[in-house]
Chains A and B, each alone.
Chain A
Amino acid sequence: MLLEQFRAQQPSLSERMYVILVGLFLGVLLLTNIITSKYIIIGHLTLTAGAITYPFTFSLLDIISEVYGKNKAKMVIWMGLLASLFMTFITYLANIIPIYEHSPVPQSAFRLVFGFTPGIVLGSMVAYLIAQLVDVYLFELVRRITKGKYLWLRNNISTLIGQLFDTAIFAGIAWMIWPLLGLTQGIEPITWNTWYQITVNEYMFKVFFTFINIPVVYIGVYLVKRCIKA
């Protein structure tokens, strides 16, 4: 095809919407990686600040999956990985560059926030992989025990336990193992107690969220479909 013809093609409303949804997914994902080291208190729960933003990535991914299909949803996951690695590289560079003496943001604050970033990105990848393996393994195990009956049982058990692994491994790598490696200066690892507390609280929040996610995705899919008239 000639470049001229190719360039003249207008993206359809549905394609435009896809790009905007992917943009939102990436925005929320990257922001989560940056702000998640601030622990917050909501009611009696101690959560990461990422807990209030991260769930939106799941809703967005589900909406994209539902409206645009599996392939376009997979693409979003790869783009999330690419953007996370890019962010790790840039923030690492910005962190080690010598600071100007009158800088509006002091190095202490910058180092504290971005010192954790590589550990967070690494932690979420490792945790994701292990959680998926556990999920698949358990699914198969329960299927054999129940002799292929009760799909809902293996579905829920594998997801719930997979998520527990995900939460615990992520918190361990991001806030304990990464600071202990000493590759970024000026950050301290959390204690075992804090690790335990944040894992349990985050996990409870995640389980709670899976229920909220259902109506959110239904409404999201309805709105996107109506908007692109699909």
Chain B
Amino acid sequence: MIVTQRPIAGMALSERIFMVLASIFIASLILTNVIAGKYFTFFGLPLSCSTLVYPFTFVVTDIVSEVYGLHRARLLVLTGFIVSIVVTMLVWIANQLPIAPTSPIDATAFSQLFGLFPGVVLGSMIGYLTAQFIDVQIFEYLRIITKNKHLWIRNNFSTLTSQLIDTIIVVTIAWVVWPMIDGNPATQPIGWQVWSKIVMGQYLFKGLLALLDTPLVYVSTYLIAKWIGIQRS
């Protein structure tokens, strides 16, 4: 079966490229959580900075699904989840530790950035897992239906569907469900009108980026398949 794998001492080229993709995926995922608290305006819509980096995770899972298959894509999603939990725990510990007076950054700035509401973490975790698994499943399903042709259909359709689900879950858990169940009278769930506005805004932007990434996924899968020496049927 293995015929055209380029011989390289140590790891096979396909393995190396997989690790590069996996690294970009993990880095994007962590950054997404860390920079989520800063919002910017994009044509009047308030958007979280995480929208700058979150789309990378979808580009990578699409490329991995296309070249390396469903098993590897699932492995990546699972790894991302484990790493997220560990990172969240470490951030929580770092936030609790007493600060030194000589610290270059003060405790207020640190806790403003990392004192994440449990609802936000919970929401993005559940949203992330659901969305990524759905993305991978739809991608594979469409690949079978279209008999391996028309990458752009599965790439865009899987991402657009999963991003919608992700956005709805995150916004609902973080701003509606959590304020209702946390027993804190200071936190109020947002109204459905605000909810729909945030969901629409985030989704439009994510959807736009998802469409823009199509040529990127095409070029990448073509190059990687050629580079690691597998023939596209």
What's the least CB distance linking B41 to chain A, in Å?
Answer: 5
Residue in A8, A23, A38, A104 whose beta carbon sits within 8 Å of that of B103 in the complex: A38
- Contacting residue for B230 out of A1, A28, A100, CB 8 A: A1
In the complex, the answer to whether B104 meets A22 with C-beta atoms within 8 Å is no
Q: Return the CB mask of B105-129 against A: 1 if under 8 Å, else 0.
A: 1111110111000000000000000
Contacts of B38 in A (CB 8 A): 94, 97, 99, 103-105, 107, 110
Known interface pairs A23-B82, A40-B98, A71-B11. Does A187 touch B93 (Cβ–Cβ under 8 Å)?
Answer: no
> Could you tell me if A39 and B102 are in contact, using CB atoms closer than 8 angstroms?
yes
A90–B80 alpha-carbon span in the complex (Å): 18
B-side binding surface: helix, strand, loop or mixed?
Answer: helix
Q: For residues 57 through 75 of chain B, which have their beta carbon under 8 Å from a beta carbon of chain A? A: 67-72, 75
Task: From A75, A112, A198, give the contact of B109 (CB < 8 A).
Answer: A112
Q: Check: A109 CB closer than 8 A to any chain B CB.
A: yes
Residues of B within 8 A of A4 (CB): 233
CA distance A14 to B33 in the complex (A): 29
Tell whether B231 is near chain A: CB-to-CB under 8 Å.
Answer: yes
- Report B14 CB to chain A, min CB distance, Å: 8
The interface residues of chain B lying within 8 Å CB-to-CB of A103 are: 37-40, 46
Contact assessment for B52 and A19 in the assembled complex, using a CB-CB cutoff below 8 Å: no
Chain A residue total in the interface (Cβ 8 A): 75
Q: Is the CB of A23 within 8 A of B79?
A: yes
B5 in contact with A37 (CB, 8 Å): no
**Contact across chains for B106 and A83 when beta carbons are under 8 A apart:** no
Residue of B22, B70, B94, B148 touching A53 (CB-CB under 8 A) = B94
Knowing A1-B2, A11-B75, the reply to whether A37 touches B105 (Cβ < 8 A) is yes
Q: Is the CB of A91 within 8 A of B31?
A: yes
Report the number of A-B residue pairs with Cβ-Cβ less than 8 Å.
Answer: 223
Chain A residues 36 to 53 lying within 8 A of chain B, measured CB to CB, are: 37-42, 46, 49, 52-53
CB neighbours (8 Å) of A5 from chain B are: 1
Interface string of B1-36 (1 = CB under 8 A from A): 111110001110010100110111011101100110
CA distance A41 to B103 in the complex (A): 10
A1-B3, A102-B39 known; A113 and B109 CB under 8 Å? Answer: yes
User: Does A98 have its Cβ within 8 Å of any Cβ on chain B?
Assistant: yes
Verify if B212 is at the interface (C-beta below 8 Å from A). no
**Which B-chain residue is minimally distant from A27 (CB atoms)?**
B83
Identify which of A34, A41, A106, A107 contacts B98 (C-beta below 8 A). Answer: A41
Which one of B84-92, B152-160, B161-169, B180-188 contacts A?
B84-92
Interface presence of B49 (CB below 8 A):
yes
Cβ-defined contact, A72 with B86, below 8 A: no
Measured CB to CB, the closest approach of chain A to B6, in angstroms, equals: 12
Residues in A lying within 8 Å of B, measured CB to CB: 1-11, 16, 19-20, 22-24, 26-28, 30-31, 34-35, 37-42, 46, 49, 52-53, 69-72, 74-75, 79, 82-83, 86-87, 90-91, 93-94, 97-100, 102-110, 112-114, 116, 175, 179, 187-188, 190-191, 194, 197-198
29 A-B contacts (beta carbon < 8 Å): A1-B4, A3-B230, A19-B22, A20-B78, A22-B23, A22-B26, A28-B86, A30-B27, A30-B30, A30-B31, A35-B110, A37-B103, A40-B98, A41-B98, A52-B90, A69-B10, A82-B24, A86-B24, A87-B27, A90-B28, A94-B35, A97-B49, A102-B39, A103-B38, A103-B40, A107-B38, A110-B113, A113-B110, A175-B104
